[in-house]
Each structure stands twice: as C-alpha cells, then as structure tokens.
C-alpha cells in the first residue's frame, strides 16, 4: 500500500493519505484473462439430447400399419461410414443424397442411429450433414431400428 505525503499547505499540519496500489490486482486479472483465453478453445462442443424413458415391458405393443412409409434412418456403422437406410453413402455424397431423399418423401423427419463403437466425431459429422441435407427434425434412436 502506498502513501501520499504532499507538501503541507501554509498553516496546516500535513497528513499522510494512504493510496491503494492496483498493480498486483491488474497482474492477477491479466493472468486470469490469459488462462481463460488458452482454455476456451479446448472446451468441447456440446449438444443436448432428451432420451425418452424405457417403455414398460408389460405394456402391449401394437404392430405398425403396413401402409405406412418406412422411417428414414441415417446411421454410422462401427467403421465410421455413413448409411441412409442401410445403404453406405460416401461422405461427399451424403448431404446431397439425403436432400434428394427428403424432397422425394415430402417430409423432413430423420431418425439417427450410431453403432456403440462408432467414432464419436463421425456421429457428430453425420448429424451436421443431416442438417445441411435439409433434415428439420432429427430423432436419436436408443435401440437399433434394424435389430428387431
């Protein structure tokens, strides 16, 4: 803490006035700023998923109507390859092909499934490309649609 001892005025007794030294405070703030600037690019990107509750095993399941269209399922297999309804599609053709399929179907709902051991980065890339391809609603499957 510093002090200011000024020249006494005529006829008055001089008093020492304490002054706060802000240099250490500025040093700490700058160090924290640098730390946060370095850490921010390393923080992973997040997206939130609402997983529905598991269905009651005692509840009777009604079979789907055979006249309904099959759902459009995009998936990522364990090798990281993209699939549209079980058909392997190269990365460069995924978004354009998905756009054509969505236009032909007339709806923009897509179901997404990724193998348990599929690379995470490929799963996120598939979701990004689905948005680019025109999917408005992406439902994440908790069980494989083809496993039944």
Tokens describing residue 108:
């923009």
How far is the C-alpha of 59 from the C-alpha of 14, rounded, in Å?
A: 90
Which pLDDT value is given to residue 9?
64
The predicted pLDDT at position 141 comes to 86
- Please identify every stretch of the chain with a pLDDT value under 70, giving residue numbers as ranges: 1-14, 43-47, 49, 64-68, 144-148
CA distances from 24 to 1, 2, 3, 18, 40 (A): 11, 13, 16, 16, 25
- Report pLDDT for 113: 92
CA distance 86 to 88: 6
Output the pLDDT for position 74. Answer: 94
The pTM (predicted TM-score) of the whole model is 0.56
Q: Which residue has the tokens 């789907």?
A: 64
Packed helices 120-132 and 91-105: angle between N→C axes, nearest 10 degrees: 50
Is domain 73-140 in CATH 3.30.420.270, yes or no? yes
């Amino acid at each position: 803490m510093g002090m200011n001892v000024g020249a006494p005025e005529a006829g008055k007794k001089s008093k020492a006035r304490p002054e706060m030294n802000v240099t250490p405070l500025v040093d700490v703030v700058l160090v924290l700023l640098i730390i946060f600037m370095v850490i921010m690019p390393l923080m992973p990107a997040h997206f939130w998923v609402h997983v529905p509750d598991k269905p009651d095993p005692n509840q009777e399941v009604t079979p789907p109507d055979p006249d309904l269209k099959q759902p459009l399922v995009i998936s990522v297999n364990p090798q990281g390859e993209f699939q549209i309804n079980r058909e392997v599609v190269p990365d460069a053709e995924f978004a354009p092909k998905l756009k054509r399929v969505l236009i032909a179907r007339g709806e923009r709902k897509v179901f997404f499934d990724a193998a348990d051991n599929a690379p995470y980065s490929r799963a996120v890339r598939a979701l990004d490309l689905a948005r680019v391809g025109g999917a408005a609603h992406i439902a994440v499957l908790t069980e494989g649609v083809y496993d039944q």
